[in-house]
Amino acid sequence: MEVLLFIVHFGVFFGYICGLYYDVKPPKGSEYEVAYWAFGGRFKYLTFLDMLLQCGYFGLCVANDLFGSEAKIQKQQSALQKYRDWLFTTLVFPMGLFVSIIFWGLYSIDRELIFPATLDLWFPAWLNHVMHTLPAIGVLIEVFMVQHTYETGVKRFKPIVAAYFMYLFWICYIAYFGGLWVYPVFEVFDVTGRTIFFAALLFPNLFFVLLGQKIHTTVWGADEEGKKDRKTE
């Protein structure tokens, strides 16, 4: 086990644990109280769901550091390492970048569309950064520190596409039966504009899958051993 890698993994994991444990709630009687508690509380927010994903992933990394492997050849990899690599390359990396970039991108344009200023009165800044900044920092550190085995072809996109449509269904369900959109930005568009916006959000996710693989190849080189090993199976 590499001590530095374990410390980094445990540090990021602990940061997410703190974020999840701190169950921030809107003040009673505020404009956010009804919306917060409707249809699943925090579980309707992509940033919270991503925090669960990132926390679970870095917890898995800690487990792999202690009990798994860091083998380059696929046949020598433990089950923990294989699942860690699959999860990171198909979901954790693209979702982490997506949440951070989309959030801070909209925030810089007009924060009222994504995180109204009135939230600052009760939503702590450190938690905001755990949810919206740490995902990008964590996955970028991970891709530079750990060599992963990547899927090839169309199957590397299937998990992120499935996750995207599941969440899209979830927020549309909330809007239809609860009468509210999870994020204020969705209220700005009409039906056509909203549909185009939803469709456009899929492409950054697909791009981030490819970007993660490109960065990995640049840092670690082509996975020649992995390719040879997959061909023999």
In tens, the pLDDT along 204-227 reads: 999 999 999 999 999 998 765 544
Predicted confidence (pLDDT) at residue 88 exceeds the cutoff of 80: yes
Cut 0.85: pTM above it:
yes
Please tell me which residue, 23 or 84, carries the higher pLDDT value.
84
Predicted confidence (pLDDT) at residue 229 exceeds the cutoff of 80: no
Q: Label residue 83 by pLDDT band (50, 70, 90).
A: very high
**pLDDT at residue number 232:** 41
Dist CA 33 CA 28 (whole Å): 6
Dist CA 142 CA 168 (whole Å): 28
Average pLDDT, the chain: 90
Predicted confidence (pLDDT) at residue 183 exceeds the cutoff of 60: yes
Number of domains in the chain: 1
pLDDT above 70: percentage of residues in the chain = 95
Q: Which residues contact 30 (CB under 8 A, 6 or more apart)?
A: 122
Dist CA 98 CA 106 (whole Å): 12
Predicted confidence (pLDDT) at residue 113 exceeds the cutoff of 80: yes
Residue 185 burial class via C-beta count within 10 angstroms: exposed 0-12, middle 13-18, buried 19 and up: middle
Amino acid identity for residue 100 in this structure: S
Predicted confidence (pLDDT) at residue 105 exceeds the cutoff of 90: yes
**pLDDT at residue number 230:** 44
Query: Could you tell me the residue range of the domain that residue 155 belongs to?
Result: 3-232
**pLDDT at residue number 181:** 87
Predicted confidence (pLDDT) at residue 231 exceeds the cutoff of 70: no
